[in-house]
């Protein structure tokens, strides 16, 4: 009872601290963005060497470069002003890209990133070498990472940084192409092959919402600086309404047919409806024919609306649609908006800032939307999912191997009665699985889950969620699916005790130490009880640190020696990391899993839900007075009363093997002795009573 209360208390404290950390870290997620004007001129010259001076291009996010005679030689731009491609960290790799007047990439350089493998692991020169590959390559060249098909150019990846490299490849190429199109030296980005899915059925408004036809942009009065109210200043929904099952019910058959007949090639119907105390229409279009409050953006392509493009829509024609304060349908003239790609609706709001009679403060707010596949179907690979699809294509056989190992271990635990039927058999099977986990999953596949994935998830939960982020590492994605399954049923022990590559290495080293007759060390019981809480403190410290600064969180997460062991060459790292790794390796020879039991933040995170596991090792009432299993339990998960702590248990199953052994378990030994004289009626009766009791 005391043990249970203690575990519950620690679980509650950890949960409260974790919740507090999430709340504290939410406000810290916003980080200052880098502006091109903030960069020194010599940094711009690095990626556009022919330029001697730079000028900002009016109303554009890029700068032009000029030689000593003042002639234009090219342009420079920051990737984040053009594209929105995220790396493994969930944040973009801010890259400075140069393009010369012939459409050739003159240079590229990563200015800022949050990639863990670059921050602490892959040498910076390896990443610089990869980025330098793009210098002197045409912006419209077909460059692929690791695989060359047809006329494509292959660029070597960087081992251990697959997702980061795929993201940077897309970042450099998409940025250079968009820049080239914007300045007119490259053709506009081709519209993705595809088309609107047409249907004779007129969709209801409810079905449109369910199918995610509309984008949504809400700006509060507080955001507009009017007051502290969270009421909507504008609350907008928007979509491209070319598809008949959308356009007909929204606009009415007559209006839809007329507007569609007005469209030229590359033009689309943009529907915007709004509520709120403000207006998205503004008044500028009355004076000068321009709607000054809303426009569309797609990368560097901007679509402004004029009064000639505008048709008033007081309400939707479809019966189940809600009422709106105002509405409009615009024709997207003068800009190539690709309905197969993501696009932004931008609202530009202004309010009096009290600085002078004519002074106003302008704020822009945007929302990104993409038409669902049920409305617009792309032929081929969707570029928005290109990175994770590439990753899965490159690692499909590794995923198969990983699944085979996991499924084999699951099968063993499903057949637990057979697995634990023999102490000797259990020992050999466990040794085989540990070796496979270390060699195959660790050394060969580098499929080592880490606390960084949990930290990234915590950041996504309080920040911007991006489901694609978690698909970009196929082996880790599959591993976490299996971990989630076994965590609910058997607790953390199957992963920590059988599958974890580093834990497997540590235990194999301890087996080796025992074979070599190295004296074994163990902390005194009182110190062990205190030290086992250290890993929870480490975990609870990492969460707010990561939310405050992902870079800081990633650095502190290096308490895990996983990168040093499986992703990099240990002795090629900084001497501090190597010494730390070497110490853990050496002490594992005479101390059972020291890192796993006292320092591992991943183990701590998995231990918390393990308290509620469905199935643990079998116990008898006699176990409360027997210390045989407690004496051999190396993680010290069994207390003096025979109670198993599910948060400490590593599911080695030796206690359950003892439970089934008539050579080790005292009650079964007693039954075996009684069974020898079972022909005696008194002994037979006593044997039956003992069996019922056991």
Residue whose C-alpha is closest to residue 160's, from 107, 121, 199: 121
Q: How far apart are CA 313 and CA 251, in angstroms?
A: 7
Question: Residue 375 has what DSSP assignment?
Answer: T
**By C-alpha distance, which of 241, 297, 248, 246 is closest to 270?**
241
Evaluate whether 7 touches 647 at the Cβ level (below 8 Å). Answer: yes
Predicted confidence at residue 611, as pLDDT, reads 84
Helices assigned H by DSSP within 625-665: 628-632, 654-660
- Rama region for 639: left / alpha / beta (φ>0; ψ in -120 to 50; rest): beta
Q: Are strands 290-298 and 343-352 parallel, antiparallel or unpaired?
A: antiparallel
Q: Would you give the end-to-end CA distance of the chain in angstroms?
A: 22
Residue 229, pLDDT score: 85
Q: Which pLDDT score, from 0 to 100, does residue 5 have?
A: 38
Q: What is the pLDDT of residue 552?
A: 85
- For 70-106, give one letter per residue: b (16+ CB within 10 A) or e: eeebbbbbbbbbbbebbbbbbbbbbbbbbbbbebbbb
CB 51 within 8 Å of CB 129: no
Paired tokens of 356 = 């002078």
* DSSP 3-state of 69: coil
- 59: Cβ–Cβ under 8 A, 6 or more apart, which residues? none
pLDDT of residue 171: 86
Q: Is the separation of the CB atoms in 37 and 560 below 8 Å?
A: no
- Cβ-in-10-Å burial (0-12, 13-18, 19+) of 239 comes to buried
Give me the long-range contacts of 247-253 (CB less than 8 A, separation at least 24).
248/202, 248/317, 249/202, 249/203, 249/204, 249/205, 249/316, 249/317, 249/318, 250/313, 250/316, 250/317, 250/318, 250/321, 251/313, 251/316, 251/317, 251/329, 252/317
As to burial, measured by CB atoms within 10 angstroms (0-12 exposed, 13-18 middle, 19+ buried), residue 559 is middle
Task: Report mean pLDDT in 10-residue bins for the chain, 694 residues.
Answer: 42 41 37 74 91 89 91 92 74 89 92 70 76 89 57 59 71 87 77 84 94 93 83 94 94 94 91 92 56 77 79 92 94 83 83 46 78 86 67 86 95 90 89 95 92 82 65 88 92 92 95 93 90 93 87 87 88 88 95 93 91 82 75 82 85 82 73 59 60 57
Pair of tokens at residue 498: 């059988």
Sort strands 143-145 and 153-155 into parallel, antiparallel or unpaired.
parallel
CA dist., res. 460 & res. 454, Å (int)? 10
> Helices (DSSP H) in 490-549: which residue ranges?
493-494, 501-515, 525-531, 534-548
Measured CA to CA, the distance from residue 34 to residue 36 in angstroms comes to: 7
How many other C-beta atoms are found inside a 10 Å radius of the C-beta of residue 568? 22
- Give residue 188's pLDDT: 65
**Which long-range CB contacts under 8 A does 49-54 form with residues at least 24 apart?**
49/106, 49/107, 50/74, 50/100, 50/106, 51/76
Q: Report the alpha-carbon distance of residue 592 to residue 637 in Å, rounded.
A: 13
Query: What are the residues whose beta carbons fall under 8 Å from the beta carbon of 110, sequence distance 6 or more?
Result: 93, 94, 95, 96, 127, 131, 168
Given a contact cutoff of 8 angstroms between Cβ atoms, the answer to whether 635 and 648 are in contact is: yes
- Which helix (H) or strand (E) covers residue 583, if one does? helix 575-588
Residue count of the chain: 694
Residue 138's beta-bridge partner residues? 104
Instruction: Please name every residue paired with 301 in a beta bridge, in sequence order, or none if there are none.
Output: 298
Residue found under tokens 């051999």: 632
User: Contact, 327 vs 271, CB < 8 A?
Assistant: yes
Distance separating alpha carbons of residues 368 and 215, to the nearest angstrom? 7
Cα–Cα dist 383/118, whole Å: 25
Query: Judging by beta carbons within 10 Å of its beta carbon (0-12, 13-18, 19+), is residue 244 exposed, middle or buried?
Result: buried
């Amino acid at each position: 009872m005391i043990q249970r209360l203690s575990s519950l208390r620690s679980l509650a404290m950890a949960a409260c601290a974790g919740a507090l950390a999430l709340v504290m870290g939410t406000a810290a997620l916003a980080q200052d963005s880098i502006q091109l004007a903030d960069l020194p001129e010599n940094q711009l010259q690095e990626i556009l060497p022919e330029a001697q001076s730079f000028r900002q291009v009016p109303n554009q996010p890029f700068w032009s470069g000029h030689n000593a005679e003042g002639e234009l030689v090219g342009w420079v731009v920051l990737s984040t002003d053009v594209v929105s491609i995220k790396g493994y960290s969930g944040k973009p790799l801010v890259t400075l890209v140069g393009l010369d007047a012939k459409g050739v990439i003159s240079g590229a350089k990563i200015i800022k990133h949050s990639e863990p493998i670059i921050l602490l692991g892959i040498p910076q020169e390896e990443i610089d070498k990869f980025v330098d590959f793009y210098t002197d390559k045409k912006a419209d060249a077909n460059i692929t990472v690791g695989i060359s098909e047809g006329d494509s150019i292959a660029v070597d990846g960087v081992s251990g940084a697959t997702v980061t490299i795929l993201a940077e490849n897309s970042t450099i190429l998409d940025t250079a192409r968009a820049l080239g199109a914007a300045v007119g030296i490259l053709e506009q980005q081709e519209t993705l092959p595809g088309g609107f899915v047409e249907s004779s059925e007129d969709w209801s408004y409810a079905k449109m919402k369910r199918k995610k036809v509309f984008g949504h942009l809400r700006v509060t009065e507080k955001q507009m600086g009017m007051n502290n109210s969270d009421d909507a200043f504008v609350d907008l929904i928007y979509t491209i309404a070319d598809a008949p099952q959308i356009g007909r019910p929204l606009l009415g058959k007559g209006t839809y047919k007329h507007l569609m007949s007005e469209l030229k090639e590359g033009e689309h119907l943009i529907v915007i409806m709004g509520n709120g105390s403000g207006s998205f229409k503004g008044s500028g279009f009355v004076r000068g024919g321009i709607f000054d409050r809303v426009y569309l953006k797609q990368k560097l392509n901007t679509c402004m609306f004029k009064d000639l493009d505008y048709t008033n829509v007081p309400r939707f024609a479809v019966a189940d649609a809600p009422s709106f304060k105002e509405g409009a349908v615009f024709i997207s003239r003068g800009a190539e908006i690709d309905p197969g790609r993501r696009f932004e609706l931008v609202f530009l709001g202004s309010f009096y800032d009290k600085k002078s009679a004519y002074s106003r403060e302008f704020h822009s707010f945007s929302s990104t939307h993409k038409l669902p596949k049920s409305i617009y179907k792309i032929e081929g690979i969707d570029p928005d999912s290109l990175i994770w699809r590439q990753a899965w294509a490159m690692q499909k056989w590794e995923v198969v191997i990983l699944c085979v190992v996991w499924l084999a271990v699951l099968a063993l635990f499903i057949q637990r009665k057979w697995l634990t039927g023999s102490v000797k058999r259990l020992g050999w099977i466990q040794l085989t699985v540990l070796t496979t986990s270390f060699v195959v999953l660790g050394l060969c596949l580098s499929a080592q889950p880490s606390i960084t994935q949990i930290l990234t998830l915590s950041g996504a939960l309080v920040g911007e969620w991006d489901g694609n982020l978690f698909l970009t590492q196929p082996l880790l994605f599959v591993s976490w699916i299996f971990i989630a399954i076994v965590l609910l049923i058997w607790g953390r022990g199957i992963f920590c005790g059988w599958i974890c590559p580093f834990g497997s290495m540590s235990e194999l080293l301890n087996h080796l130490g025992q074979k070599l007759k190295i004296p074994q060390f163990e902390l005194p019981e009182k110190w062990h009880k205190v030290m086992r809480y250290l890993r929870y403190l480490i975990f609870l410290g990492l969460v707010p640190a990561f939310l405050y600064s992902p870079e800081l969180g990633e650095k502190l997460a290096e308490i895990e020696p996983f990168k040093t062991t499986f992703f990099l060459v240990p002795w090629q790292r900084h001497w501090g990391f190597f010494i730390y790794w070497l110490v853990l390796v050496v002490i594992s020879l005479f101390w059972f899993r020291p890192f796993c039991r006292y320092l591992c933040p991943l183990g701590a995170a998995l231990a918390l839900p393990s308290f509620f596991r469905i199935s643990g090792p079998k116990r008898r009432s006699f176990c409360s007075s027997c210390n045989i299993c407690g004496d051999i339990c190396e993680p010290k998960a069994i207390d003096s009363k025979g109670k198993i702590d599910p948060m400490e248990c590593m599911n080695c199953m030796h206690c359950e093997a003892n439970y089934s052994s008539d050579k080790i378990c005292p009650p079964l030994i007693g039954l075996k002795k009684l069974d020898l004289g079972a022909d005696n009626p008194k002994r037979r009766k006593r044997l039956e009573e003992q069996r019922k009791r056991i």
